[in-house]
Chain A
Amino acid sequence: MLLIKIAWRNIWRSKLRSAVVMLAIASGLVGGLFSSAWMNGMAKQRVKDTFSIETAHIQFHNAEFADNFDVKKTILNTEEKLEELSKTEGIKAVTSRLKTSAMAATANKNMGVTIVGILPKNEKEVFGLYKKLDSANGDFFETKKKNSIVISKALATELKAKLKSKIVLTFQDYNGEITGAAFKVIGIFKTTNSTWDKMHVFVRAADLRKVLELPEGQSHEIDILLDDYNQAMIISEQLQKRYPDVLSEDWSKIQPYINFITKYMDIMMGVFMLIILGALGFGIVNTMLMVILERTRELGMLMAIGMTKRRVFVMIMYETIFLALVGALLGELISMLLINYYGNAGIDLSSMAEGLETVGYSVITFPELEPVRYIQITVMVFATGILASIYPAIKALKLDPASAIRTI
Protein backbone atom coordinates (compact mmCIF):
# COMPACT_ATOMS: atom_id res chain seq x y z
CA MET A 1 0.00 0.00 0.00
CA LEU A 2 2.83 2.36 0.88
CA LEU A 3 4.49 1.99 -2.51
CA ILE A 4 1.17 2.31 -4.30
CA LYS A 5 0.44 5.53 -2.39
CA ILE A 6 3.87 6.99 -3.20
CA ALA A 7 3.72 5.90 -6.85
CA TRP A 8 0.22 7.33 -7.33
CA ARG A 9 1.20 10.67 -5.81
CA ASN A 10 4.46 10.73 -7.75
CA ILE A 11 2.71 10.66 -11.10
CA TRP A 12 0.93 13.90 -10.15
CA ARG A 13 4.15 15.68 -9.13
CA SER A 14 4.72 16.94 -12.63
CA LYS A 15 1.13 17.44 -13.63
CA LEU A 16 1.84 18.87 -17.06
CA ARG A 17 4.23 16.11 -18.06
CA SER A 18 1.96 13.37 -16.76
CA ALA A 19 -1.02 15.00 -18.46
CA VAL A 20 0.85 15.11 -21.78
CA VAL A 21 1.78 11.42 -21.51
CA MET A 22 -1.74 10.46 -20.46
CA LEU A 23 -3.26 12.47 -23.30
CA ALA A 24 -0.84 10.85 -25.74
CA ILE A 25 -1.92 7.43 -24.52
CA ALA A 26 -5.58 8.45 -24.52
CA SER A 27 -5.51 9.93 -28.02
CA GLY A 28 -3.58 6.92 -29.34
CA LEU A 29 -6.20 4.61 -27.91
CA VAL A 30 -9.09 6.75 -29.13
CA GLY A 31 -7.63 6.62 -32.64
CA GLY A 32 -7.01 2.88 -32.42
CA LEU A 33 -10.27 1.94 -30.78
CA PHE A 34 -12.46 4.17 -32.92
CA SER A 35 -10.83 3.00 -36.15
CA SER A 36 -11.17 -0.59 -35.01
CA ALA A 37 -14.81 0.00 -34.07
CA TRP A 38 -15.42 1.59 -37.45
CA MET A 39 -13.84 -1.29 -39.36
CA ASN A 40 -15.54 -3.75 -37.07
CA GLY A 41 -18.89 -2.05 -37.62
CA MET A 42 -18.43 -2.19 -41.40
CA ALA A 43 -17.43 -5.82 -41.27
CA LYS A 44 -20.26 -6.75 -38.90
CA GLN A 45 -22.75 -5.01 -41.15
CA ARG A 46 -21.35 -6.85 -44.17
CA VAL A 47 -21.59 -10.15 -42.34
CA LYS A 48 -25.10 -9.36 -41.09
CA ASP A 49 -26.24 -8.34 -44.57
CA THR A 50 -24.74 -11.47 -46.06
CA PHE A 51 -26.62 -13.68 -43.62
CA SER A 52 -29.79 -11.69 -44.01
CA ILE A 53 -29.79 -11.35 -47.79
CA GLU A 54 -27.55 -13.96 -49.33
CA THR A 55 -26.69 -17.08 -47.39
CA ALA A 56 -28.51 -17.52 -44.06
CA HIS A 57 -26.30 -19.57 -41.70
CA ILE A 58 -26.37 -23.05 -43.21
CA GLN A 59 -27.31 -24.21 -46.70
CA PHE A 60 -28.11 -27.64 -48.13
CA HIS A 61 -27.48 -28.41 -51.77
CA ASN A 62 -27.19 -31.47 -53.89
CA ALA A 63 -23.44 -32.11 -53.75
CA GLU A 64 -23.17 -31.70 -57.55
CA PHE A 65 -25.40 -28.64 -57.86
CA ALA A 66 -22.73 -26.11 -57.04
CA ASP A 67 -20.53 -27.26 -59.94
CA ASN A 68 -22.69 -25.87 -62.76
CA PHE A 69 -26.13 -25.02 -61.36
CA ASP A 70 -27.56 -28.12 -63.07
CA VAL A 71 -31.30 -27.94 -62.40
CA LYS A 72 -31.48 -31.72 -62.23
CA LYS A 73 -29.15 -31.85 -59.24
CA THR A 74 -31.82 -31.38 -56.63
CA ILE A 75 -32.50 -32.06 -52.98
CA LEU A 76 -35.17 -34.72 -52.60
CA ASN A 77 -37.98 -34.83 -50.03
CA THR A 78 -37.65 -31.12 -49.36
CA GLU A 79 -40.91 -30.77 -47.39
CA GLU A 80 -40.00 -33.59 -44.98
CA LYS A 81 -36.59 -32.10 -44.46
CA LEU A 82 -38.05 -28.64 -43.81
CA GLU A 83 -40.48 -30.12 -41.31
CA GLU A 84 -37.73 -31.98 -39.43
CA LEU A 85 -35.34 -29.09 -39.52
CA SER A 86 -37.89 -26.63 -38.18
CA LYS A 87 -38.19 -28.82 -35.08
CA THR A 88 -34.44 -29.11 -34.53
CA GLU A 89 -32.95 -27.37 -31.52
CA GLY A 90 -30.84 -24.32 -32.38
CA ILE A 91 -32.65 -23.73 -35.69
CA LYS A 92 -34.77 -20.61 -35.83
CA ALA A 93 -36.28 -20.87 -39.32
CA VAL A 94 -35.88 -22.77 -42.59
CA THR A 95 -36.90 -22.31 -46.19
CA SER A 96 -36.19 -23.86 -49.55
CA ARG A 97 -35.34 -22.32 -52.88
CA LEU A 98 -35.21 -23.23 -56.53
CA LYS A 99 -32.33 -21.76 -58.44
CA THR A 100 -31.37 -21.60 -62.05
CA SER A 101 -29.29 -19.47 -64.35
CA ALA A 102 -31.22 -17.48 -66.89
CA MET A 103 -31.18 -14.64 -69.34
CA ALA A 104 -33.38 -11.73 -68.29
CA ALA A 105 -34.54 -9.54 -71.13
CA THR A 106 -36.60 -6.44 -71.69
CA ALA A 107 -37.21 -4.64 -74.93
CA ASN A 108 -34.07 -2.66 -74.26
CA LYS A 109 -31.46 -5.07 -73.00
CA ASN A 110 -30.76 -8.54 -71.66
CA MET A 111 -28.55 -9.75 -68.85
CA GLY A 112 -27.52 -12.99 -67.26
CA VAL A 113 -29.10 -13.55 -63.85
CA THR A 114 -29.82 -16.20 -61.26
CA ILE A 115 -33.51 -16.83 -60.75
CA VAL A 116 -34.35 -17.62 -57.17
CA GLY A 117 -37.69 -19.34 -56.67
CA ILE A 118 -38.89 -18.75 -53.14
CA LEU A 119 -41.61 -19.65 -50.66
CA PRO A 120 -42.54 -16.08 -49.65
CA LYS A 121 -43.78 -16.92 -46.13
CA ASN A 122 -40.76 -19.05 -45.20
CA GLU A 123 -38.41 -16.73 -47.05
CA LYS A 124 -39.39 -13.81 -44.83
CA GLU A 125 -38.63 -15.88 -41.72
CA VAL A 126 -35.11 -16.67 -42.93
CA PHE A 127 -34.08 -13.73 -45.11
CA GLY A 128 -34.55 -10.00 -44.76
CA LEU A 129 -34.67 -9.09 -48.43
CA TYR A 130 -38.32 -8.05 -48.10
CA LYS A 131 -37.14 -5.22 -45.82
CA LYS A 132 -35.10 -3.79 -48.67
CA LEU A 133 -38.17 -2.59 -50.55
CA ASP A 134 -39.90 0.60 -49.65
CA SER A 135 -43.59 1.14 -50.38
CA ALA A 136 -42.81 3.26 -53.43
CA ASN A 137 -41.06 0.28 -54.96
CA GLY A 138 -43.83 -2.28 -54.82
CA ASP A 139 -44.00 -5.25 -52.49
CA PHE A 140 -42.43 -8.61 -51.81
CA PHE A 141 -45.04 -11.07 -53.11
CA GLU A 142 -47.90 -9.68 -51.03
CA THR A 143 -50.27 -10.15 -53.98
CA LYS A 144 -50.96 -13.64 -55.29
CA LYS A 145 -50.67 -12.77 -58.94
CA LYS A 146 -48.85 -15.41 -60.93
CA ASN A 147 -45.53 -14.82 -62.65
CA SER A 148 -44.54 -11.91 -60.46
CA ILE A 149 -40.92 -10.96 -60.18
CA VAL A 150 -38.91 -8.86 -57.72
CA ILE A 151 -35.72 -7.38 -59.11
CA SER A 152 -33.09 -5.00 -57.83
CA LYS A 153 -32.87 -1.33 -58.56
CA ALA A 154 -29.45 -1.89 -60.13
CA LEU A 155 -30.84 -4.50 -62.54
CA ALA A 156 -33.90 -2.37 -63.24
CA THR A 157 -31.63 0.46 -64.24
CA GLU A 158 -29.57 -1.80 -66.49
CA LEU A 159 -32.67 -3.31 -68.13
CA LYS A 160 -34.49 0.04 -68.09
CA ALA A 161 -37.33 -1.71 -66.25
CA LYS A 162 -39.70 -0.35 -63.63
CA LEU A 163 -42.69 -1.53 -61.62
CA LYS A 164 -45.19 -3.41 -63.81
CA SER A 165 -42.59 -3.82 -66.58
CA LYS A 166 -42.43 -7.25 -68.13
CA ILE A 167 -39.21 -9.20 -68.07
CA VAL A 168 -38.74 -12.33 -70.09
CA LEU A 169 -36.66 -15.01 -68.42
CA THR A 170 -35.14 -17.68 -70.65
CA PHE A 171 -33.51 -20.79 -69.19
CA GLN A 172 -33.08 -24.54 -69.51
CA ASP A 173 -35.82 -26.69 -67.97
CA TYR A 174 -35.59 -29.96 -66.07
CA ASN A 175 -35.60 -31.90 -69.34
CA GLY A 176 -32.80 -29.83 -70.86
CA GLU A 177 -35.11 -27.89 -73.18
CA ILE A 178 -34.80 -24.13 -73.52
CA THR A 179 -37.88 -22.54 -72.09
CA GLY A 180 -39.00 -19.18 -70.82
CA ALA A 181 -41.75 -17.07 -69.42
CA ALA A 182 -42.67 -13.43 -68.97
CA PHE A 183 -42.78 -12.03 -65.42
CA LYS A 184 -44.22 -8.74 -64.27
CA VAL A 185 -42.10 -6.61 -61.92
CA ILE A 186 -44.00 -6.20 -58.64
CA GLY A 187 -41.14 -5.03 -56.43
CA ILE A 188 -37.75 -3.38 -56.69
CA PHE A 189 -35.22 -3.85 -53.90
CA LYS A 190 -31.89 -2.33 -53.12
CA THR A 191 -29.30 -3.93 -50.83
CA THR A 192 -25.85 -2.70 -49.91
CA ASN A 193 -24.26 -5.00 -52.51
CA SER A 194 -24.94 -3.69 -56.01
CA THR A 195 -22.94 -6.49 -57.66
CA TRP A 196 -25.08 -9.14 -56.00
CA ASP A 197 -28.23 -7.14 -56.70
CA LYS A 198 -27.64 -7.14 -60.46
CA MET A 199 -27.28 -10.91 -60.53
CA HIS A 200 -30.42 -12.03 -58.67
CA VAL A 201 -34.12 -11.94 -59.42
CA PHE A 202 -36.84 -13.45 -57.22
CA VAL A 203 -39.98 -15.27 -58.28
CA ARG A 204 -42.41 -17.60 -56.51
CA ALA A 205 -41.09 -21.16 -56.34
CA ALA A 206 -44.44 -22.47 -57.64
CA ASP A 207 -44.20 -20.32 -60.78
CA LEU A 208 -40.62 -21.34 -61.44
CA ARG A 209 -41.27 -25.01 -60.70
CA LYS A 210 -44.00 -25.03 -63.31
CA VAL A 211 -41.83 -23.54 -66.06
CA LEU A 212 -38.84 -25.62 -65.05
CA GLU A 213 -41.06 -28.73 -64.99
CA LEU A 214 -39.34 -29.64 -61.74
CA PRO A 215 -41.10 -32.48 -59.88
CA GLU A 216 -42.79 -31.69 -56.57
CA GLY A 217 -40.73 -32.33 -53.45
CA GLN A 218 -37.49 -31.34 -55.13
CA SER A 219 -35.57 -28.11 -54.58
CA HIS A 220 -32.10 -26.78 -55.19
CA GLU A 221 -31.36 -25.24 -51.84
CA ILE A 222 -32.47 -25.36 -48.22
CA ASP A 223 -31.57 -22.30 -46.16
CA ILE A 224 -31.33 -22.52 -42.40
CA LEU A 225 -31.30 -19.62 -39.93
CA LEU A 226 -29.87 -20.44 -36.50
CA ASP A 227 -30.43 -18.91 -33.09
CA ASP A 228 -26.67 -18.30 -32.88
CA TYR A 229 -24.57 -18.10 -36.01
CA ASN A 230 -21.45 -19.01 -34.03
CA GLN A 231 -22.90 -22.52 -33.75
CA ALA A 232 -23.16 -22.89 -37.53
CA MET A 233 -20.15 -25.14 -37.99
CA ILE A 234 -21.17 -27.57 -35.25
CA ILE A 235 -24.81 -27.74 -36.31
CA SER A 236 -23.88 -28.06 -39.98
CA GLU A 237 -21.69 -31.07 -39.15
CA GLN A 238 -24.51 -32.65 -37.15
CA LEU A 239 -26.96 -32.08 -40.01
CA GLN A 240 -24.51 -33.53 -42.52
CA LYS A 241 -24.55 -36.77 -40.54
CA ARG A 242 -28.34 -36.72 -40.38
CA TYR A 243 -28.75 -35.99 -44.13
CA PRO A 244 -25.96 -37.75 -46.00
CA ASP A 245 -27.84 -37.28 -49.33
CA VAL A 246 -27.16 -33.52 -49.27
CA LEU A 247 -24.14 -31.31 -48.88
CA SER A 248 -24.48 -29.24 -45.67
CA GLU A 249 -22.30 -26.16 -45.52
CA ASP A 250 -22.09 -23.42 -42.92
CA TRP A 251 -21.70 -19.77 -43.84
CA SER A 252 -17.92 -19.82 -43.55
CA LYS A 253 -17.76 -22.41 -46.34
CA ILE A 254 -20.45 -20.84 -48.48
CA GLN A 255 -18.89 -17.39 -48.22
CA PRO A 256 -15.19 -17.79 -47.36
CA TYR A 257 -14.82 -14.06 -47.85
CA ILE A 258 -17.12 -13.36 -44.91
CA ASN A 259 -15.17 -15.79 -42.77
CA PHE A 260 -12.01 -14.01 -43.86
CA ILE A 261 -13.49 -10.60 -42.96
CA THR A 262 -14.33 -11.64 -39.41
CA LYS A 263 -10.92 -13.19 -38.80
CA TYR A 264 -9.11 -10.42 -40.63
CA MET A 265 -10.77 -7.78 -38.47
CA ASP A 266 -9.59 -9.54 -35.32
CA ILE A 267 -6.04 -9.75 -36.66
CA MET A 268 -6.10 -6.17 -37.94
CA MET A 269 -7.30 -4.84 -34.63
CA GLY A 270 -4.61 -6.79 -32.79
CA VAL A 271 -1.87 -5.53 -35.11
CA PHE A 272 -3.25 -1.99 -34.98
CA MET A 273 -3.29 -1.94 -31.19
CA LEU A 274 0.16 -3.52 -30.96
CA ILE A 275 1.61 -0.76 -33.15
CA ILE A 276 -0.14 1.96 -31.13
CA LEU A 277 0.81 0.45 -27.78
CA GLY A 278 4.37 -0.16 -28.98
CA ALA A 279 4.73 3.51 -29.90
CA LEU A 280 3.14 4.56 -26.62
CA GLY A 281 5.40 2.18 -24.75
CA PHE A 282 8.49 3.96 -26.06
CA GLY A 283 6.94 7.29 -25.07
CA ILE A 284 6.37 5.98 -21.57
CA VAL A 285 9.95 4.64 -21.36
CA ASN A 286 11.24 8.06 -22.36
CA THR A 287 9.11 9.82 -19.77
CA MET A 288 10.11 7.42 -17.01
CA LEU A 289 13.79 7.81 -17.87
CA MET A 290 13.31 11.55 -17.44
CA VAL A 291 11.66 10.88 -14.10
CA ILE A 292 14.58 8.73 -12.96
CA LEU A 293 17.05 11.38 -14.07
CA GLU A 294 15.18 14.12 -12.23
CA ARG A 295 14.78 12.08 -9.08
CA THR A 296 18.27 10.57 -8.92
CA ARG A 297 19.01 12.23 -5.60
CA GLU A 298 15.68 11.26 -4.09
CA LEU A 299 16.08 7.65 -5.21
CA GLY A 300 19.59 7.63 -3.75
CA MET A 301 18.19 8.94 -0.47
CA LEU A 302 15.47 6.25 -0.46
CA MET A 303 18.03 3.50 -1.00
CA ALA A 304 20.32 5.00 1.61
CA ILE A 305 17.66 5.07 4.31
CA GLY A 306 16.69 1.47 3.73
CA MET A 307 14.45 1.04 0.71
CA THR A 308 15.43 -2.21 -0.97
CA LYS A 309 16.11 -2.42 -4.69
CA ARG A 310 13.07 -4.62 -5.10
CA ARG A 311 10.90 -1.91 -3.58
CA VAL A 312 12.46 0.77 -5.78
CA PHE A 313 11.81 -1.43 -8.81
CA VAL A 314 8.21 -2.02 -7.79
CA MET A 315 7.65 1.68 -7.10
CA ILE A 316 8.89 2.65 -10.59
CA MET A 317 6.75 -0.12 -12.06
CA TYR A 318 3.65 1.10 -10.23
CA GLU A 319 4.27 4.66 -11.42
CA THR A 320 4.58 3.51 -15.02
CA ILE A 321 1.50 1.34 -14.82
CA PHE A 322 -0.55 4.13 -13.22
CA LEU A 323 0.58 6.56 -15.89
CA ALA A 324 -0.40 4.11 -18.63
CA LEU A 325 -3.65 3.01 -17.02
CA VAL A 326 -4.96 6.51 -16.30
CA GLY A 327 -4.27 7.45 -19.94
CA ALA A 328 -5.85 4.20 -21.09
CA LEU A 329 -9.00 4.63 -19.01
CA LEU A 330 -9.36 8.20 -20.26
CA GLY A 331 -8.88 7.01 -23.84
CA GLU A 332 -11.35 4.16 -23.37
CA LEU A 333 -13.94 6.48 -21.88
CA ILE A 334 -13.65 8.94 -24.77
CA SER A 335 -13.70 6.04 -27.25
CA MET A 336 -16.76 4.56 -25.59
CA LEU A 337 -18.62 7.88 -25.85
CA LEU A 338 -17.60 8.38 -29.48
CA ILE A 339 -18.38 4.82 -30.50
CA ASN A 340 -21.70 4.95 -28.69
CA TYR A 341 -22.64 8.23 -30.37
CA TYR A 342 -21.63 7.21 -33.89
CA GLY A 343 -22.90 3.68 -33.24
CA ASN A 344 -26.37 5.22 -33.02
CA ALA A 345 -26.03 8.13 -35.42
CA GLY A 346 -23.93 6.27 -38.00
CA ILE A 347 -21.16 7.60 -40.21
CA ASP A 348 -22.42 8.66 -43.61
CA LEU A 349 -20.04 7.81 -46.44
CA SER A 350 -22.37 8.82 -49.27
CA SER A 351 -19.48 10.38 -51.14
CA MET A 352 -18.04 6.88 -51.56
CA ALA A 353 -21.39 5.14 -52.09
CA GLU A 354 -20.67 3.66 -55.52
CA GLY A 355 -17.41 2.07 -54.52
CA LEU A 356 -18.70 0.78 -51.21
CA GLU A 357 -21.85 -0.77 -52.68
CA THR A 358 -19.88 -2.48 -55.42
CA VAL A 359 -18.05 -4.48 -52.75
CA GLY A 360 -21.12 -4.94 -50.59
CA TYR A 361 -20.60 -2.37 -47.85
CA SER A 362 -23.29 -0.08 -46.55
CA VAL A 363 -23.02 3.66 -47.13
CA ILE A 364 -23.89 4.37 -43.52
CA THR A 365 -21.68 2.51 -41.10
CA PHE A 366 -22.25 2.07 -37.39
CA PRO A 367 -19.05 1.67 -35.36
CA GLU A 368 -19.28 -1.03 -32.76
CA LEU A 369 -16.91 -2.66 -30.34
CA GLU A 370 -17.66 -5.58 -28.07
CA PRO A 371 -17.23 -4.79 -24.33
CA VAL A 372 -14.63 -7.54 -24.07
CA ARG A 373 -12.40 -5.49 -26.39
CA TYR A 374 -12.14 -2.74 -23.77
CA ILE A 375 -11.06 -5.31 -21.21
CA GLN A 376 -8.50 -6.71 -23.67
CA ILE A 377 -7.14 -3.23 -24.33
CA THR A 378 -6.87 -2.51 -20.59
CA VAL A 379 -4.91 -5.74 -20.13
CA MET A 380 -2.69 -4.86 -23.11
CA VAL A 381 -2.02 -1.38 -21.70
CA PHE A 382 -1.28 -2.92 -18.29
CA ALA A 383 1.21 -5.26 -19.94
CA THR A 384 2.70 -2.35 -21.90
CA GLY A 385 3.07 -0.44 -18.63
CA ILE A 386 4.94 -3.34 -17.06
CA LEU A 387 7.20 -3.79 -20.09
CA ALA A 388 7.83 -0.04 -20.38
CA SER A 389 8.77 0.16 -16.72
CA ILE A 390 11.47 -2.49 -16.86
CA TYR A 391 14.23 -0.45 -18.49
CA PRO A 392 13.73 2.71 -16.37
CA ALA A 393 13.43 0.59 -13.23
CA ILE A 394 16.68 -1.21 -14.05
CA LYS A 395 18.32 2.19 -14.56
CA ALA A 396 17.05 3.23 -11.12
CA LEU A 397 18.44 0.06 -9.56
CA LYS A 398 21.87 0.77 -11.01
CA LEU A 399 22.05 4.06 -9.12
CA ASP A 400 24.76 4.17 -6.52
CA PRO A 401 23.23 5.77 -3.40
CA ALA A 402 26.43 7.63 -2.52
CA SER A 403 26.84 9.31 -5.89
CA ALA A 404 23.07 9.67 -6.34
CA ILE A 405 22.82 11.67 -3.10
CA ARG A 406 25.60 13.96 -4.30
CA THR A 407 23.73 14.64 -7.57
CA ILE A 408 22.49 18.21 -7.85
Chain B
Amino acid sequence: MEIKWYIFLSIALFSIGVVGALTRRNSIIVFMCIELMLNSVNLLLVAFSKMHISTGGPAAFGAINAQIFVFFIMIVAAAEVSVGLAIIVMMYRNTKSIDINFLNRLKN
Protein backbone atom coordinates (compact mmCIF):
# COMPACT_ATOMS: atom_id res chain seq x y z
CA MET B 1 0.00 0.00 0.00
CA GLU B 2 1.16 3.54 -0.62
CA ILE B 3 1.54 5.84 2.38
CA LYS B 4 -1.08 8.29 1.08
CA TRP B 5 -4.00 5.98 1.75
CA TYR B 6 -2.98 5.69 5.38
CA ILE B 7 -2.69 9.48 5.57
CA PHE B 8 -6.15 9.97 4.08
CA LEU B 9 -7.67 7.32 6.33
CA SER B 10 -6.19 8.98 9.43
CA ILE B 11 -7.44 12.38 8.29
CA ALA B 12 -10.93 10.98 7.77
CA LEU B 13 -11.02 9.35 11.21
CA PHE B 14 -9.64 12.50 12.85
CA SER B 15 -12.22 14.71 11.12
CA ILE B 16 -15.06 12.41 12.17
CA GLY B 17 -13.78 12.73 15.73
CA VAL B 18 -13.66 16.53 15.43
CA VAL B 19 -17.22 16.65 14.08
CA GLY B 20 -18.42 14.47 16.95
CA ALA B 21 -16.64 16.55 19.59
CA LEU B 22 -18.16 19.73 18.13
CA THR B 23 -21.72 18.57 17.57
CA ARG B 24 -22.57 16.20 20.41
CA ARG B 25 -23.59 17.29 23.88
CA ASN B 26 -23.36 14.00 25.72
CA SER B 27 -20.02 14.21 27.51
CA ILE B 28 -19.34 10.46 27.25
CA ILE B 29 -19.69 10.60 23.46
CA VAL B 30 -17.46 13.68 23.30
CA PHE B 31 -14.89 11.75 25.30
CA MET B 32 -15.14 8.78 22.93
CA CYS B 33 -14.59 11.10 19.98
CA ILE B 34 -11.39 12.33 21.63
CA GLU B 35 -10.25 8.71 21.93
CA LEU B 36 -11.01 8.28 18.23
CA MET B 37 -8.77 11.24 17.37
CA LEU B 38 -5.94 9.86 19.54
CA ASN B 39 -6.18 6.53 17.74
CA SER B 40 -6.10 8.05 14.28
CA VAL B 41 -2.90 9.88 15.20
CA ASN B 42 -1.43 6.63 16.52
CA LEU B 43 -2.24 4.95 13.21
CA LEU B 44 -0.47 7.72 11.32
CA LEU B 45 2.62 7.46 13.54
CA VAL B 46 2.88 3.73 12.92
CA ALA B 47 2.38 4.24 9.16
CA PHE B 48 5.20 6.80 9.00
CA SER B 49 7.47 4.56 11.07
CA LYS B 50 6.77 1.75 8.62
CA MET B 51 7.40 4.08 5.68
CA HIS B 52 10.82 5.11 6.97
CA ILE B 53 11.75 1.51 7.66
CA SER B 54 10.71 0.61 4.12
CA THR B 55 12.67 3.36 2.42
CA GLY B 56 15.86 2.76 4.37
CA GLY B 57 18.44 5.51 4.67
CA PRO B 58 19.32 7.47 7.81
CA ALA B 59 15.70 7.90 8.89
CA ALA B 60 15.18 4.16 9.15
CA PHE B 61 17.58 3.99 12.08
CA GLY B 62 15.25 5.89 14.40
CA ALA B 63 11.97 4.79 12.89
CA ILE B 64 11.32 2.23 15.60
CA ASN B 65 11.12 5.07 18.14
CA ALA B 66 7.77 6.06 16.63
CA GLN B 67 6.27 2.78 17.73
CA ILE B 68 7.62 3.37 21.25
CA PHE B 69 5.93 6.78 21.16
CA VAL B 70 2.65 5.12 20.21
CA PHE B 71 3.08 2.82 23.20
CA PHE B 72 3.57 5.81 25.50
CA ILE B 73 0.59 7.62 23.95
CA MET B 74 -1.52 4.59 24.82
CA ILE B 75 -0.20 4.65 28.41
CA VAL B 76 -1.03 8.34 28.83
CA ALA B 77 -4.45 7.81 27.22
CA ALA B 78 -5.26 5.06 29.70
CA ALA B 79 -4.39 7.32 32.65
CA GLU B 80 -6.34 10.19 31.09
CA VAL B 81 -9.44 8.05 30.58
CA SER B 82 -9.51 6.91 34.19
CA VAL B 83 -9.35 10.48 35.51
CA GLY B 84 -11.77 11.82 32.88
CA LEU B 85 -14.40 9.20 33.59
CA ALA B 86 -14.08 9.93 37.31
CA ILE B 87 -14.74 13.59 36.50
CA ILE B 88 -17.82 12.64 34.44
CA VAL B 89 -19.16 10.51 37.29
CA MET B 90 -18.61 13.36 39.75
CA MET B 91 -20.33 15.75 37.37
CA TYR B 92 -23.31 13.40 37.11
CA ARG B 93 -23.47 13.20 40.87
CA ASN B 94 -23.51 16.99 41.23
CA THR B 95 -25.78 18.01 38.37
CA LYS B 96 -27.71 14.77 37.68
CA SER B 97 -26.85 15.15 34.02
CA ILE B 98 -23.89 14.58 31.71
CA ASP B 99 -24.77 17.34 29.28
CA ILE B 100 -21.67 19.42 28.64
CA ASN B 101 -23.69 22.64 28.66
CA PHE B 102 -24.00 22.27 32.43
CA LEU B 103 -20.23 22.56 32.66
CA ASN B 104 -20.20 26.25 31.84
CA ARG B 105 -19.80 27.17 35.48
CA LEU B 106 -17.11 25.68 37.63
CA LYS B 107 -18.66 26.42 41.00
CA ASN B 108 -21.84 24.79 42.28
Task: Check if A and B associate.
Answer: no
Q: Which residues of A contact B (CB under 8 A)?
A: none
B residues adjacent to A (C-beta < 8 A): none
